[in-house]
Structure 1
Amino acid sequence: MADIAVDIAELANRRRLCVRASLSRRHLIERLFRAGGLTAIVIALGLVATLFGMMASKGAPAFMQATLSLDVTFDPAVITVAPPPARAAGQSEADYRAAMLVWQRQVTLANWSAIVETAVRNAAPPGFEIDRRGALALVETNERHRLRDMFVADPGLLGQTVRVDMLASANTDNWLKGTINRALPDSRQQLSRQTRTLADTLLAEGKIRFAFAWHLFTNTDSRSAPAAAGLAGAFVGSLYMMLIVIALAVPIGVASAIYLEEFAPRHRVTDLIEVNINNLAAVPSIVFGLLGAAVFIRYFGLPMSAPVVGGLVLTLMTLPTIIIATRSALRAVPLSLRQAALAVGASPTQTVFHHVLPVTFPAILTSAIIGVAQALGETAPLLLIGMNAFVASIPATPFDQSSALPAQIYLWQGNENRNFFEARTSAAIMVLLGLMITLNALAIFLRTRLERRV
């Protein structure tokens, strides 16, 4: 009996040791798993922070641009035009407008470049020598058009000297920001030696300063005046496309998901539809661009580079995502809720729209906003329908030619003036990421708010 007791005690001791060893291994595995998960999160956040940090460091200089404060003299010897026509008694509106157009054409023919050149020479130190080309290279080319518009708006400026803030040229901005190597020989510099020296002098005297580039948000793209290029046209084009996606993809996608999940009979046809929807969600976006070019442009005759075509293409691309996400939200509703609604006399339609859908509103809204945000950043399908074309105007309707933010980024990235447009490209990426983050934050906010109500 004593031997049996000893064996039992020894067996129990061994079992305790095995259990402890097993617990130690389990605890070690749990600690390693937690450490691995924490490491993965830290690496992911580090990569995201690196991405945003790189974009911010490269794009921040584009939001500040060199501006010259010059005393501009509207010299009557250069602006040799008659006073603007006054509307005579009994003169029709059409005749008065025709007379004004003739006068404005005469104003346009004035040598406004000479006005800009004189302003630059007057701002230079006494005795500083610079040729006409070098003086004009300091200022953006479209500033002479702005002076012309100022005179047309106020003809009383003739003979007066006015302080005007003019945008520096892209090459001047590169030189002052140091984005071009100053040690390069004159033959490889974009500005002459006199222009570079004058730019440094005016910066030291405070006649050139760096101001916030509001025109980045208010101007359209420009090839003749790259320093004045902006995102207004591309932003409006993207806005039109997002409105089309919201108006078409969201109601069609949600309605399709409700029908397939709640009302459609289960047979081979619906199974085939479900398989195709899942396959469409994995189709590359460039395929939708080819479809849009073939169907909407070639077959239906819609205009190229139009937001309406881009919106329709992005709608087709976003529909599978919204349908799948909505069906997943509907499946997550407990069956007991449906049974309870049917038990108290609700019809199947009332059960879905009065009891099931209110519960799934947060998830459906989140999936819709995320789908729209994903469509906002698509580039490949837009390139195939011509939205990478240069359009220097803001679209008035979705049928007007336009660009989009992703396509504008693509255009600026390939611009030959890399020293200037590299920062401008990063700034455009920051704007696009800001819009996408805003949409995602809106989705989270609305989901949280609706979940509290439910």
Structure 2
Amino acid sequence: MSDVTSSAFQAQASARPGRRDIGIAKRYAAERRFRAYGVAAILTGVFFLAVLLWTVVSNGYTAFLQTTITLPITFSEKVIDPKNERADNPQKLMAANYPLLVRDALIQELGIDANDRAKVKLATDMISASARTQLRDIVVANPQVIGQTLPVAILAEGNIDSANKGQIDLKADEANRKVKNQQLAWMDQLREKGALTKQFNTGLFTFGASSRPEAAGIGVAALGSFYMMLIVLVLALPIGVAASIYLEEFAPKNRFTDLIEVNINNLAAVPSIVYGLLGLAIFINFAGLPRSASLVGGLVLTLMTLPTIIIATRAALKAVPPSIRAAALGLGASKMQTIFHHVLPLAMPGILTGTIIGLAHALGETAPLLLIGMVAFVVDYPGSPLEPSTALPVQIYMWANEAERAFVERTSGAIMVLLVFLIVMNLGAILLRRRFERRW
């Protein structure tokens, strides 16, 4: 009997290591599968991010170049001021027939018969309608150019610009494209003379809204975004920090403060379009503030950013060790001195990081700005936050709705500019945290 029991025990003992090895192998296999899932998830995210960036960059890098046609413009006094009235009435210079100057220069440069109206029209269609404003500004800024002939680089029309960049299929039938064969021949003629060139598109950063893609830019929208971010920084940072200090350091722990904390966390998850409705109801309909003004946009984005700043600030305050507070109080510092002289400086890296991330989030918002009317067609720069303006993401939205091909590259180009701003702000947040962060 004992021999049977001994043999059974030995059999069980010899089987146990096998089962233990199988269990360890299963755990190792599960760990390898989990790692593989993690790597696959990261690679999938990187792939789609690369596709997104490639799509934006491939469509938008050409927006930073603009086709110009340099023409010898004769600022004829007979056309600009035939009666020599500019000394007494400077407004005469504003209403002159500047497109006629461009037409005469084109006829001379291309060797076109002035009586051939069809060819003259085809030639003038190659020049942007913004040439009138460009020549007018030159004359108004320096009336001494009247009577002189000067080379002026004039913007090419949007389709001519697209054709020069290779964005139009020139092998298609002439009836199916907006650039005619005669215009292509003139383009080759001007290119051989060095008159048709591609230059860095400074207008993309300085022009305002325009129905002509070659004359459209993000300058006004960028200034409007700057005004709004300035308002958000001035209002949201002190209010958010003050609220966080009170809730974290002074407020009693009761149901009322618990309710406030829950609502702050919920507000951080509220869709941004709800803040747009709130701003429309309070700031425009009730307070009577001007519609489509940067001030209203800044106030709406302040409300949207406050929960983010409050949550980040409270987390930074909690990260400061209690021993700092105890040591300051033990040395005779008051509660206020402890917070503002010791706790707050140590929490400042986290506060600044949360603020910059909140500003970056607000910079890319579009939905609340649409509801308060910041989709206005604004050509001139706003002199103050009370004047009509738009914002960079709203300008991108407006361009994306345009049908012309040239607006596609400007949409992608503006997205690239916005992404650069966002990347710089997030890098700033990371550098600030690493520069001032202290490990306990």
Q: Determine helix, strand or coil for the equivalent of 2:437.
A: helix
Determine the C-alpha separation between the residues in 1 that align with 2:140 and 2:82: 11
Q: Determine helix, strand or coil for the equivalent of 1:60.
A: helix
**Are 2:221 and 2:391, in contact at CA under 8 Å, matched by a contact in 1?**
yes
Is 1:420 paired with 2:421?
no
Judged with a 3 Å threshold, the aligned counterparts in structure 2 of structure 1 residues 153 and 310 are, in CA distance, closer, same or farther, namely closer
Letter matched to residue 34 of structure 1: R
Cα RMSD, aligned residues only: 2.5
**Are 1:370 and 1:443, in contact at CA under 8 Å, matched by a contact in 2?**
yes
Letter matched to residue 159 of structure 2: N
Alignment of 1:21-60 (within 5 A): 21-60=22-61
Give the alignment partner of residue 140 of structure 1, picking from 104, 124, 128: 128
- 1:105 is aligned to 91
Q: C-alpha displacement at 1:237, in angstroms?
A: 0.3
Gaps of 5+ in 2: none
- Higher deviation after alignment, 138-147 or 246-255: 138-147
Number of equivalences: 437
Alignment of 1:424-435 (within 5 A): 424-435=410-421
Superposed CA offset, 1:167-217 (max 9, x none): 101121123234334355555543454334323432354321111101100
- 2:202 is aligned to 214
- 2:19 is aligned to 18
Q: C-alpha displacement at 1:267, in angstroms?
A: 1.5
Q: C-alpha displacement at 1:341, in angstroms?
A: 3.6
Superposed CA offset, 1:110-160 (max 9, x none): 332121011112221577966332222111112123223323333333333
Determine the C-alpha separation between the residues in 1 that align with 2:228 and 2:180: 45
Alignment of 1:43-82 (within 5 A): 43-81=44-82
Determine the C-alpha separation between the residues in 2 that align with 1:14 and 1:176: 79
- 1:90 is aligned to none
TM-score normalised per structure 1: 0.89
Is 1:381 paired with 2:368?
yes
- 2:165 is aligned to 177
Letter matched to residue 268 of structure 2: A
Q: C-alpha displacement at 1:409, in angstroms?
A: 0.7
Q: C-alpha displacement at 1:70, in angstroms?
A: 1.3
Superposed CA offset, 1:219-276 (max 9, x none): 11112x4311111100000000000111111111111111111110112211211121
**Are 2:86 and 2:93, in contact at CA under 8 Å, matched by a contact in 1?**
no
Is 1:350 paired with 2:351?
no
**Are 2:86 and 2:92, in contact at CA under 8 Å, matched by a contact in 1?**
no
**Are 2:85 and 2:92, in contact at CA under 8 Å, matched by a contact in 1?**
no
Is 1:404 paired with 2:391?
yes
Give the alignment partner of residue 300 of structure 2, picking from 305, 313, 330: 313
Q: Determine helix, strand or coil for the equivalent of 1:435.
A: helix
Alignment of 1:126-137 (within 5 A): 131-137=119-125
Q: C-alpha displacement at 1:414, in angstroms?
A: 1.0
Give the alignment partner of residue 240 of structure 1, picking from 221, 227, 230: 227
- 2:354 is aligned to 367
Judged with a 3 Å threshold, the aligned counterparts in structure 2 of structure 1 residues 29 and 105 are, in CA distance, closer, same or farther, namely same
Determine the C-alpha separation between the residues in 2 that align with 1:448 and 1:35: 31
Determine the C-alpha separation between the residues in 1 that align with 2:81 and 2:306: 62
Letter matched to residue 45 of structure 1: V
Give the alignment partner of residue 328 of structure 1, picking from 303, 315, 320: 315
Letter matched to residue 34 of structure 2: F
Judged with a 3 Å threshold, the aligned counterparts in structure 2 of structure 1 residues 117 and 265 are, in CA distance, closer, same or farther, namely same
Determine the C-alpha separation between the residues in 2 that align with 1:8 and 1:351: 70
Judged with a 3 Å threshold, the aligned counterparts in structure 2 of structure 1 residues 358 and 107 are, in CA distance, closer, same or farther, namely closer
Is 1:282 paired with 2:283?
no
Determine the C-alpha separation between the residues in 2 that align with 1:406 and 1:48: 20
Determine the C-alpha separation between the residues in 2 that align with 1:34 and 1:350: 49
- Higher deviation after alignment, 185-194 or 362-371: 185-194
Q: C-alpha displacement at 1:413, in angstroms?
A: 0.9
Letter matched to residue 214 of structure 1: T
Gaps of 5+ in 1: 87-98
Judged with a 3 Å threshold, the aligned counterparts in structure 2 of structure 1 residues 285 and 205 are, in CA distance, closer, same or farther, namely same
Determine the C-alpha separation between the residues in 1 that align with 2:338 and 2:81: 79
Determine the C-alpha separation between the residues in 2 that align with 1:387 and 1:69: 36
Q: Determine helix, strand or coil for the equivalent of 2:375.
A: coil
- 1:89 is aligned to none
Letter matched to residue 439 of structure 1: M
Percentage of pairs with the same residue: 48
Is 1:121 paired with 2:122?
no
Q: C-alpha displacement at 1:368, in angstroms?
A: 0.8
- Higher deviation after alignment, 370-379 or 347-356: 347-356
Letter matched to residue 403 of structure 1: T
- 2:214 is aligned to 227
- Higher deviation after alignment, 390-399 or 109-118: 109-118
Is 1:251 paired with 2:252?
no
**Are 2:94 and 2:140, in contact at CA under 8 Å, matched by a contact in 1?**
no
Superposed CA offset, 1:274-325 (max 9, x none): 1211221111111110110110011111000000000000000111111122
TM-score normalised per structure 2: 0.92
- 1:94 is aligned to none
**Are 1:83 and 1:155, in contact at CA under 8 Å, matched by a contact in 2?**
no
**Are 1:81 and 1:106, in contact at CA under 8 Å, matched by a contact in 2?**
no
